Amino acid sequence: MASTTTAGHSILETIKTIFWALLIAGVFRTLFFQPFWIPSGSMKETLLVGDFLFVNKMAYGYSYASCPSIRIGMIGLNIEADEICGFIDGDNTRILGGQPERGDVVVFRHPVNGTDYIKRLVGLPGDKLQMKDGVLQINGEAVGLVDDGEFSEVMERQGPQGNYPRCANDPVGQGGQCKKTRQIETLPGGTSHAILNISDQGSDHTGIYHVPEGHFFFMGDNRDNSADSRVNQAVGGVGYVPLENLIGRADRIMFSSAGRSMLFFWTWRGDRFFKAVE
């Protein structure tokens, strides 16, 4: 009887330990830092497929989007963030909110489907933006652009999705060098970063976007391979993103895997450990 009681006590203690560990991890993830793995190439070369980073949630304060969505397909579990933190949802506001700055790399929740996206903030409330011949115009002025050579990567499947990169020098065979033109873009306020271009396409020539109050305009650094605010939500883009949908700022890459899984440690990129996101 004593051994049975001891075994039962041991199981109970294990369950309590797991419960408290999960609770602490959940609070930490909700309030401070959220892990994020880059699944696509829309932010190259700033962020590569397979980069693993933590998102600073303290940077912009908290809203319903600060809570994680819980999706486990194999058991049919699908709990959205607003079902957990709906009590702080409303009127496009944040608690302890700090204002994002133009040029920040931000993780946000898609306004329609709730998926987490990561893009660069280029348009603030009240701004007018337009793409003219591939050059971003903000409030009637072209951003600074300086040609800066090429970005080159191997033509191979990337990340868990197994997608091939798009190349300016197509066609490129398996194992060949996939190239894109590279420029340094400087936004109003002085933030500079690399952008990539692949071809002349519709997203390089747009009408004028008027950013509503309380909303922001985002673009990917890989300009010709990004579904962002230039594309309406109804056709796969993100449109204007409300303040309350911001999750946090991407500050630093912890490590990066060039393989199909971040667990393949032998594919980790040695030059990206603790690399600042600029």
Residues 181-232: tens digit of each pLDDT: 999 999 999 999 999 999 999 999 999 999 999 999 999 999 999 999 998 8
Percent of the chain with pLDDT over 70: 80
**Of residues 70 and 135, which shows the higher confidence score?**
135
* Interval 79-103: pLDDT, tens: 666 666 766 666 788 888 788 999 9
Q: Determine the average pLDDT of the residues in 136-158.
A: 96
Q: Catalytic pick from 57, 119, 179, 180?
A: 119
Q: Which of 40, 42, 63, 66 is catalytic?
A: 42
- pLDDT digits over 172-184, tens only? 999 999 999 999 9
CATH number of 33-60+102-276: 2.10.109.10
pLDDT at residue number 19:
44
171: cis peptide before it, omega within 30°?
yes
Q: Is 57 a catalytic residue?
A: no
The 3-state secondary structure of the chain reads CHHHHHHHHHHHHHHHHHHHHHHHHHHHHHHCEEEEECCCCCCCCCCCCCEEEEEECCCCCECHHHCCCEEEHHHCEEECHHHHHHHHCCCCCCECCCCCCCCCEEEEECCCCCCEEEEEEEECCCCEEEEECCEEEECCEECEEEEEEEEEEECCCECCCCECCCCCCCCCCCCCEEEEEEEEEECCCCCEEEEEECCCCHHHCCCCEECCCCEEEEECCEHHHCCCCCCCHHHCCCCCEEHHHEEEEEEEEEEEECCCCCCCHHHECCCCCCEECC
Residue 144 has pLDDT above 60, yes or no: yes
Q: Is 257 a catalytic residue?
A: no
pLDDT recorded at residue 154: 95
pLDDT at 114: 85
Domain ranges of the chain: 33-60+102-276
Lowest mean pLDDT among 15-29, 114-128, 239-253: 15-29
Q: From edge to edge, which strands make up the β-sheet containing 141-142? A: 141-142, 135-138, 128-132, 209-210
pLDDT in tens, 2-55: 455 555 555 655 555 554 444 444 444 445 678 899 999 999 999 999 999 999
Q: What is the mean pLDDT of the chain?
A: 86
